[in-house]
Amino acid sequence: MRVAIIGQGYVGQTIAVGAAGAGHTVVGFDLNAGLVDQLNSGKSHIEGISDSELASLISSNFFTASTDPSVLEGSDVIVIAVPTPLDGDRNPDLSYVHAAAELINQQVKSPVLIINESTSYPGTLRNEIAARITGVEHLFASSPERVDPGNTQWGTKNTPRLIGGLTPAAVAKAREFYGSFCDSIIEVSSPEVAEAAKIFENTFRQVNIALVNEFAQISDALGISGREVIEAAATKPYGFMPFNPGPGVGGHCIPVDPSYLAHVANEVGVPATFIKRANEVNLAMPAYVVKRVVTGAGGSIAGKSVVVIGVSYKANVADTRETPAAAVIDLLRAEGANVVWHDELVGSWRGESSVPLSPHDIAVVVTKHDGVSDAAIKACGYVFDCTGTVAGVDGI
């Protein structure tokens, strides 16, 4: 098939490589000219895709990137993979989705299968995309992306893929497309079910992470190790699923998607109380971390040199979106500490650069990428570990 993908970020590029690898002719459309040039020169910008894999798909003409919207016309399939962030009031911002729909409306005059992979609330495909694309009998399906960047066990191929379409013909064509590079396809009765499943999955994680974050604080106050309790509870072979405490939640999904569910819940008059409380608990974690650091370091960190280790939101990715490291650093500075950070994957962020890992008065481990040495961390005077991976130091 001839496939056009709108948006070449984490999701768009992942699908582009999956589809091109299966022998489809893929064009990755993005407004960001710098990114398009980078991709066309064979340089991947995400961890799970190597430069050589990308370069080989380009040289065999299975993949090309473009900023020219006319590439959309003549496709068999168009996949929308654009950002769905929150606005300043933490409400859904569908402006990128609307812009993608408008682009298709203007550019595409022959019938095509339009799939939305961007995460959004139920009703988005029907009311925010299909309703804006008029005059041509397109097929519409929703297949929310479940990619977990950096996960080496579960990728596009072996993560079961949900499909819901506006018509049986849309579902059949979407099945044919995804079946060419995904092992397992699960059809659901409507796009709304597929859309809701994705945001419910992430809400499940958000709420459970908040629960375990609160539990870690209770355990610490009781003088027992929350992590040991979780490990012990996880020995039960049924009815329990372990989650790990940490400095908060980050990335594009867990801090954002539940608010999409809360938004529609509010519209239909059902208060999403768990989501609200989970947000509060997770957003308060950086303050809890800094309180523990101040106490652990002897009551004051004013004038102390502090290195924050790992500023991306999770291990082995360079993604700093919504990272709790930002609040941890700001709050450490508010306590008067001189704070630098070490994260070679991120390199530069918020106008600052990663420093080499050397001894400081205090180290706060927010995220630990592979290859960061425990010995170098422990060379610091006081260590607070938010990851549970540095043995024999203070932490959550």
Ligand X SMILES: NC(=O)c1ccc[n+]([C@@H]2O[C@H](COP(=O)([O-])OP(=O)(O)OC[C@H]3O[C@@H](n4cnc5c(N)ncnc54)[C@H](O)[C@@H]3O)[C@@H](O)[C@H]2O)c1
To ligand X, the closest distance from the beta carbon of 220 in angstroms equals: 31
Q: Return the structure tokens found at 10.
A: 């984490």
Toward ligand X, which CB reaches closer, 226 or 255?
255
Is 118 an interacting residue with respect to ligand X (CB under 6 A)? yes
Is 6 an interacting residue with respect to ligand X (CB under 6 A)? yes
Active-site hit among 182, 253, 380, 386: 253
Toward ligand X, which CB reaches closer, 199 or 390?
199
Beta bridge partners, 339, equal 306
To ligand X, the closest distance from the beta carbon of 151 in angstroms equals: 10
Toward ligand X, which CB reaches closer, 127 or 300?
127
To ligand X, the closest distance from the beta carbon of 277 in angstroms equals: 22
Distances (CA, A) of 155 to 49, 81, 183: 11, 17, 11
Toward ligand X, which CB reaches closer, 326 or 364?
326
Is 96 an interacting residue with respect to ligand X (CB under 6 A)? yes
Give the whole-angstrom CA distance, residue 366 versus residue 304: 18
CA angle 372, 375, 376 (to 5 degrees): 60
Radius of gyration of the chain (CA): 23
User: Which residues in 22-41 contact ligand X (CB under 6 A)?
Assistant: 29-32, 35
To ligand X, the closest distance from the beta carbon of 9 in angstroms equals: 2
Distances (CA, A) of 334 to 18, 228, 302, 304, 331: 46, 32, 9, 12, 5
Among 4, 10, 77, 386, binds ligand X (CB under 6 A): 10
DSSP-derived secondary structure for 71-85: GGTT-SEEEE-----
Among 15, 36, 100, 272, binds ligand X (CB under 6 A): 100
Tell whether the torsion through CA atoms of 340, 369, 228 and 256 is positive or negative: positive
For the question of residue 253 being annotated catalytic, the response is: yes
Is 282 an interacting residue with respect to ligand X (CB under 6 A)? no
Amino acid sitting at position 246: G
Query: Which region, judged by CB under 6 A, interacts with ligand X, from 52-60, 81-89, 215-223, 291-299?
Result: 81-89
Query: Which region, judged by CB under 6 A, interacts with ligand X, from 1-9, 151-159, 282-290, 382-390?
Result: 1-9
Please tell me the count of residues contacting ligand X according to CB under 6 A.
Answer: 28
Render the burial of 259-287: b for 16+ CB within 10 Å, e for the rest.
Answer: bbbbbbbeeeeeebebbeebbebbebbbe
Is 82 an interacting residue with respect to ligand X (CB under 6 A)? yes
Among 3, 4, 11, 130, binds ligand X (CB under 6 A): 11
To ligand X, the closest distance from the beta carbon of 299 in angstroms equals: 40
Toward ligand X, which CB reaches closer, 217 or 259?
259
Longest CA pairwise span in the chain (Å): 69
To ligand X, the closest distance from the beta carbon of 72 in angstroms equals: 10
Among 16, 26, 77, 119, binds ligand X (CB under 6 A): 119
Give the whole-angstrom CA distance, residue 83 versus residue 186: 24
To ligand X, the closest distance from the beta carbon of 327 in angstroms equals: 21
Q: Return the structure tokens found at 166.
A: 């506006």
Q: Provide the H-helix boundaries in the chain.
A: 10-21, 33-40, 51-59, 95-107, 168-179, 191-222, 226-233, 257-267, 273-283, 285-296, 324-334, 374-378
Listed residue (35, 72, 71, 69) closest to 54, CA to CA: 35
Is 212 an interacting residue with respect to ligand X (CB under 6 A)? no
Listed residue (248, 312, 242) closest to 280, CA to CA: 248
Instruction: Give the nearest residue (CB) to ligand X.
Output: 9
Toward ligand X, which CB reaches closer, 119 or 367?
119
Site string for ligand X, 213-252 (x = CB under 6 A): ---------------------------------------x
Among 60, 61, 99, 110, binds ligand X (CB under 6 A): 99
To ligand X, the closest distance from the beta carbon of 29 in angstroms equals: 5
Tally Cβ neighbours within 10 Å of residue 168. Answer: 10
Beta bridge partners, 246, equal none
DSSP type of residue 382: E
Residues annotated as catalytic are 253
Q: Which residues bind ligand X (CB under 6 A)?
A: 6-12, 29-32, 35, 81-84, 96, 99-100, 103, 118-119, 145-147, 149, 252-253
